[in-house]
Amino acid sequence: MHNKVVVITGASSGIGLALAKEFSSRGFKVVLAARSADKLKDVEENLRSTGTEVISVRTDVSKEEDCENLVKETVARFGRIDILINNAGLSMRALFRDVELSVLKQLMDVNFWGTVYCTKYALPYLLETKGSVIGISSIAGFIGLPARTGYSASKFAMHGFLETLRVENLKNGLHVLIAAPGFTASNIRKTALTNDGSQQGETPRKEDKMMSPEEVARRVANAIKKRKPTLVLTFVEGKLTVWLKKWMPRTLEKLTYQHMAKEPDSPLND
């Protein structure tokens, strides 16, 4: 593992930060990418203090040139890429009838196009190493979540892109993993966009009842090691949901509506 290189977007907090620490503990060379240069530097210094070879590259994944630069900086420093984890993401919480279209575009730019841009420029190096491309997705990529049209749409798009990439490279040794953590205790809900694009702030969910980012990171790392195609975490909100989607879709729609309507100040109750 000591010669292998992992690139992680959205690495300054939440699941991305936990992934950085997990791969650092496994002996990887780590490349951190996120929009906040200050937060990245703090993470970089923390990992370096443990003996990890690490660099941070300020990256807005919605900008193609930033993603291209991320790959260039990685290859210039380490000469290879073994794993690309497309983790950077935005969420939202607003009914489609109320949301400004610019919000949906922002979700697609980060969640979908960010994955496409980073993967496009990293792909030649990943093919050389027969490496792994990972999309950190969501149960919202399997079912349409009410009040999250842009989020679900971006994750469905991510799934289609990554599944096609996997099929195209069946004979090239490329590993593609779609990982759906379910609800995880992270800041993605605090930064979720409302109907006008502002951040919602305080999370409407009980974070202490959710899976920790560290547990998600450990499970994702193990799935990469085993080169699994799909990882769906949690039973009720994950595996059972995917099963119901296939066999009882109408029942799932009703259950999903009821579940999401129970959130404090849910737009579904307006």
Do 11 and 40 meet the contact criterion of CB atoms below 8 Å apart? yes
Instruction: Kindly provide the b/e burial profile for residues 228-241, where b requires at least 16 CB atoms within 10 angstroms of the residue's own CB.
Output: eebbbbbeebbeeb
pLDDT tens for residues 18-38? 999 999 999 999 999 999 999
Residue type, 59: T
pLDDT tens for residues 134-157? 999 999 999 999 999 999 999 999
Active site residues: 151
pTM: 0.92
- Structure tokens, 98: 């109320």
Asked whether residue 204 carries a pLDDT value surpassing 70, the answer given is no
Domains recognised in the chain with CATH numbers: 5-269 (3.40.50.720)
pLDDT score of 266: 86
Do 193 and 109 meet the contact criterion of CB atoms below 8 Å apart? no
Asked whether residue 235 carries a pLDDT value surpassing 80, the answer given is no
Do 200 and 151 meet the contact criterion of CB atoms below 8 Å apart? no
pLDDT tens for residues 36-84? 999 999 999 999 999 999 999 999 999 999 999 999 999 999 999 999 9
Do 88 and 60 meet the contact criterion of CB atoms below 8 Å apart? no
pLDDT score of 206: 55
- Burial of residue 225, with CB atoms counted within 10 A of its CB: 0-12 exposed, 13-18 middle, 19 or more buried: exposed
- Structure tokens, 206: 């009980």
